[in-house]
């Protein structure tokens, strides 16, 4: 089951046991502070701290690589661009901070049950109740969103395969239409399932 990024990996480390709210707050604080990181040394220190978090959480290296890999598509062009317009120092800072933040966000989701993360958001939403926000709904929407990611990816894979089988070229429209139709059908079915399972308001 390795290679799936961003999914909870059960464990008993300190990082796992930290309350979800603390982890999310930490992520927000680091995100805010990261704009003040100005030198390559500090950016490297930030990355090192995050990597230390992975070590403390005893997550396998393969997961670390799986977290970084999708980022390369953005980080490499961004780095090259920064080197050209702003020089090596600036490039190292920008890429380092990006790397650190994404890895940190992944560390949080890898060590926290989705339900616990959602409960934090629901708790925050509860304070916004006076504005008419229904916290339960916010939580449900988040879970459904997370659950939908693999479903949509699967659907996209099926559509692409079907097109290959029929020898169609890669037209954006020929891809988007069946994908949207399929996603809507799925959403409809899921709505029925939700109602059948007691969320019918």
Residues 6+ apart with CB under 8 A from 140: 199
Q: CB of residue 146 vs other proteins: minimum separation in angstroms?
A: 5
Residue with tokens 């929407």: 141
> Of 13 and 143, which has the nearer Cβ to other proteins?
143
Q: How far is the CB of 84 from other proteins (least distance, A)?
A: 40
**CA atoms within a 13 Å half-sphere pointing along the CA-CB vector of 34:** 23
Q: How far apart are CA 8 and CA 34, in angstroms?
A: 25
Closer CB to other proteins, 10 or 167, in the complex? 10
Residues of this chain that interact with other proteins (CB under 8 A) are 1, 4, 7-8, 10, 113-115, 143-144, 146-147, 150-151, 154, 186, 189-190, 192-198, 200
Q: Which is nearer to other proteins, 38 or 123 (CB)?
A: 123
* Cβ proximity to other proteins, 47 vs 118, nearer residue: 118
Alpha helices in the chain (DSSP H): 14-17, 20-33, 40-56, 61-86, 88-111, 114-127, 135-165, 172-196
Collapsing DSSP to helix, strand or coil, 81 comes out as helix
Q: By C-alpha distance, which of 142, 145, 132, 137 is closest to 200?
A: 137
Nearer to other proteins, 6 or 26 (CB): 6
Q: What is the DSSP letter of 162?
A: H
Rounded to a whole number of angstroms, the minimum distance from the CB of residue 185 to other proteins is: 9
Nearer to other proteins, 99 or 125 (CB): 125
Nearest approach, Cβ of 188 to other proteins (angstroms)? 9
Minimum distance between the CB of residue 72 and other proteins, rounded to whole angstroms? 24
* CB 140 to other proteins: min, Å: 8
φ, ψ of residue 66 to 5 degrees: the values are -65, -30
d(CA 66, CA 69): 5
Q: Which residue has the tokens 């399929």?
A: 182
């Amino acid at each position: 089951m390795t290679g799936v990024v961003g999914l909870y990996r059960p464990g008993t480390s300190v990082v796992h046991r930290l309350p979800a709210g603390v982890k999310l707050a930490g992520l927000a604080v680091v995100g805010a502070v990261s704009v003040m990181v100005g030198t390559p040394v500090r950016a490297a220190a930030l990355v090192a701290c995050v990597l230390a978090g992975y070590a403390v959480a005893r997550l396998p290296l393969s997961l670390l690589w799986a977290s970084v890999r999708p980022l390369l598509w953005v980080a490499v062009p961004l780095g090259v661009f920064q080197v050209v317009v702003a020089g090596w120092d600036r490039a190292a800072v920008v890429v380092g901070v990006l790397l650190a933040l994404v890895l940190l966000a992944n560390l949080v989701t890898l060590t926290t049950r989705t339900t616990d993360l959602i409960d934090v958001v629901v708790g925050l939403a509860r304070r916004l109740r006076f504005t008419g926000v229904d916290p339960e709904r916010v939580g449900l929407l988040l879970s459904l969103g997370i659950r939908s990611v693999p479903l949509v990816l699967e659907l996209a894979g099926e559509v692409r395969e079907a097109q290959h089988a029929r020898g169609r070229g890669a037209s954006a429209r020929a891809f988007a239409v069946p994908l949207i139709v399929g996603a809507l059908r799925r959403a409809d079915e899921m709505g029925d399932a939700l109602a059948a399972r007691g969320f019918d308001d």
